[in-house]
Structure 1
Amino acid sequence: MLRKSPFLLVGMLLLASCATAPPAASGLAPTPTPTAAPAKAAAATAPRQPGPSAPPAFDQARDHNPLNKLSKAKTLSCSGTPAVKVRKWDTMKRYLTAVKGCLDRFWKREFARAGLRYTPPGATFVRKAPARFCGLEWGKNAGGMYCDLAGLKEDKRFTVVVRPDDVWPEMRIDLAILTAHEYGHHVQKMSGYMSYIDKAFWQADKKGRKAADLVNRRSELQTECFAGVALGALYDSMFPSRAPWDDYRAYTARWDQEASWDRSHGLPRTQVTWMERGWKAGTTGACDTWHAKSSAVK
Structure 2
Amino acid sequence: MAPLVWFITGCSSGLGECFVREVLSRGDRVVATARGDPTRLKHLEELGAHTMDLDVTATQDELNSKVKEAVERVERIDVLINSAGYFEAGVTEEVTDETFKLQFEVNFFGVLKMTRAVLPYLRKQRSGFIAFIGSPLGWKGVPGSSPYVASKFALEGVAECIRGEVAQFGIRTTIFDAGNFKTPILSPERIKYSPHTIKDYADTMQTFYGIIDYLDMKQPGDPKKGVKVMVDVIRGEGVSKGKPAPERLPLGTDMMEYIRGKCNDSLALCEEWGEISRSTDFD
Could you state the TM-score of these two structures normalised by the residue count of structure 1? 0.28
More contact order relative to length (CA 8 Å, sep ≥ 6): 1
- Higher-strand-fraction structure: 2
Instruction: Flag the structure with larger Rg.
Output: 1
